[in-house]
Structure 1
Amino acid sequence: MTAHPPSPPVSTPSRAVRLGPWSLRLAPRALLVSLVLVLAGFVVAVLAISTGEFTVPVPDVPAALFGDGPPVAELIVNKLRAPRVLTGLLVGAAFGLSGAIFQSLTRNPLGSPDFIGFTAGASTGGILAVVAGGSALQIAGGSLAGCVLTAALVYALAFRRGVQGYRLVLVGIGVNALLISANSYLLTRANINDAATAAAWLTGSLGGRDWDYVLPLTVALAVLLPACAYVSRPLRMIEMGDDSARSMGIGVEAVRAVAITAGVLLCGVATAAAGPVVFVALAAPQLARRLTRSPGVTMASSALVGAVLLTAADLAAQRVFAPVQLPVGVLTAAIGGTYLALLLRKDRH
């Protein structure tokens, strides 16, 4: 199991900005990339809200959002499209952050929730809730609980005088395989209606998402973002090795515990809202790393890439194959599988 692939040949130096007694280090390229990603996310969101079978002119979108537009436009924007787009942005950001945390902890691009069992654990919890006849809220709760329990199991099995990245990845891959088998068994034992519902949920989709999904996601990200900001810099130090980090006064195990907790909750919340949308958590941090030319995984750019990637994939899944609308998980799996093959080919040595 290898560590992160070699850093890009050119890295952008950071600059210190002082604000009274506080100082902030900014990398000009990372800041520029983040601004471009924010603009890209805005453009994709506007396109997703304004286009479709019924086109809403862009100038009418703000009016419809605030209840001053035509009744048909208000219905389409407020009830159908805007909640779906916002859910996609928030879910993509959560997956991007979760992937960034675990890839940094494991120092491995394959250290993603998709590969170390957390997404599969969330899927198991969701399937059990579906088979038990649970509501949408209970399915979301089962998904979150499954993710947390799986993370606790992987952490316990990988812990040996601390948790090393390669051991976490290897244990997680094994647990992931077991959970995938368990999920398949559960589907075979369910009745045909429950199996069909569970299979649709397992694909990963933003269809039918309303404002009831947006508020919990917003609250969860508002709570977890400070934790991500808190561990961001220490994680960069830990990437150089535990001994080096300890020599700089970093409490390695405490930082790792906070980071794992935040990463697990982000993955669980995102999966609960949209199902196990695969490969976003894998690809977003690596794409962000290459765009910013950062020597390590970056939190903010990973969240923005995840948000843009998932929302753009959902827009393409709705429009490219119209009138057929594909679940977004189908498209991210196709794109992510190709990206994984290219990543493995590039870093095979």
Structure 2
Amino acid sequence: MVVVALGTGDYAVPPWDVVRSLTGHGTAVTDYVVRTLRLPRVSMALVVGASLGISGAIFQSVARNPLGSPDLVGFETGAATGALLQILVLGGGPAAVALSAVGGGFGTALAVYALAYRRGVHGYRLILVGLAVAAALSSVNSYLIVKASLQEAQAAAVWMTGSLNGRGWEQLGPTAAAAAVLVPAALWLSPHLRAMELGDPAAKALGVPVERSRLLLVLVAVMLAAVATAAAGPISFVALAAPQLARRVTRTAGVALVPAGLMGALLLLASDYGAQRVLAPIQLPVGIMTGAIGGLYLMWLLVHEWRSARA
């Protein structure tokens, strides 16, 4: 998919020439098209998609529910609130918007965790509290956009859709650096996550500090989602669908953080490729494509869960 995305466009590059350019053996023209014009966007799609996939896998495991996802339980909505406050109220630049998005997601996570804590945090309570917080923050976001000027509202609406348009190396650097810290942290905590899927009593018997591990895992997952949102806006359904699809592809019932990250990267890159080609030369925001695909997936998941409950 990377080779296809790098080779497709107004100036088509054959797959072998894409590989030659990536390995440093391309011509000046192909190097410019592949490595300068297209590679930053493709790389951003991979990093953001992998971050969302791993974040979703952690949330679904902690909540023990396939509907546990940062875009459904308010964390991406909180990141969007932070960004909108910076765009519409404070008037900060791109760096300030990114930091505000991370801060908004982090603050929302702390609020949801505190409200859901009753002698521990349990999956359904975390999801219900997250949905309530997400609804409240969505109303705040709508109010901010309605009260803004037309130009500011248009800029905010574009950001809220989620897009990789115009993303270059300067945006990719901080995002990749944050992912390089957070992804190893998630992998380091993954053995605790696997033990906790056996249930809190079993995990405690295995020597796992359940509540501390759960809090650390939630914080890592929130930061991954917030960094992804800061880089590309709130992109829906990738975090929801990627872990479930990865489990089905790998045929495993346990936590699969690496496959979930790879599946998230594939979903976002394929969605962005489709968003650029469906109405070419008009480029749709990738959030529209993931929302359309994710809506169908969510309907299928709800029907599947309903049938499982009846059985």
Q: TM-score, normalised by structure 2?
A: 0.94
Contact 2:50 2:264 in 1 (8 A): yes
The counterpart of 1:81, out of the listed 21, 38, 44, is 38
User: Which of the numbers 21, 44, 52 marks the counterpart of 2:9?
Assistant: 52
- Answer yes or no: is the 8 Å Cα contact 1:63–1:69 preserved in 2: yes
Code of the residue aligned with 1:58 in structure 2: it is P
Which whole-Å CA distance do the structure 1 matches of 2:266 and 2:22 have between them?
21
- Identify the residue that residue 305 of structure 1 maps to in structure 2: 263
Following superposition, the deviation at residue 213 of structure 1 comes to 2.0
User: Structure 2 matches for 1:160-175, cutoff 5 A?
Assistant: 160-175=118-133
Unmatched segments (≥5 aa) in structure 2: none
Consecutive unaligned residues of structure 1, counting only runs of 5 or more, are 1-43
Q: Distance in 1 between matches of 2:164 and 2:2?
A: 14
For 2:81 and 2:160, how far apart are their aligned partners in 1? 10
Give the corresponding residue for 2:298: 340
Q: Mean Cα displacement is larger for which, 230-239 or 146-155?
A: 230-239
Give identity over the alignment, percent. 52
The C-alpha deviation readout for 1:155-212, integer Å capped at 9, x for no partner, is 1111122211111111000000001111000000111111101100111111101011
TM-score (norm 1): 0.84
Question: Within 5 Å, which residues of 2 pair with 1:84-123?
Answer: 84-123=41-80
- The 5 Å alignment of 1:183-198 reads 183-198=141-156
Alpha-carbon separation, structure 2, partners of 1:236 and 1:99: 15
Question: Structure 2 residue aligned with 1:265, among 208, 220, 223?
Answer: 223
SS in 2 for 1:347: helix
Contact 1:227 1:258 in 2 (8 A): no
8 Å contact kept, 1:56–1:73: yes
Question: Aligned residue for 1:34?
Answer: none
Distance change in 2, residues 1:194/1:79 (3 Å): farther
Distance in 1 separating the partners of 2:31 and 2:166:
17
* Count of residues in correspondence between the two structures: 306
Please give the alpha-carbon distance, in whole angstroms, between the structure 2 residues aligned to 1:346 and 1:62: 41
Corresponding position: 1:153 with 2:111: yes
Matched, 1:206 2:159: no
| Matched residue type, 1:117 | G
* Cα distance in structure 2, aligned partners of 1:289 and 1:69: 38
Q: Is residue 2:176 matched to residue 1:218? A: yes
Q: In structure 2, what is the Cα distance between the partners aligned to 1:324 and 1:305?
A: 27
Corresponding residue number in structure 2 for 1:28: none
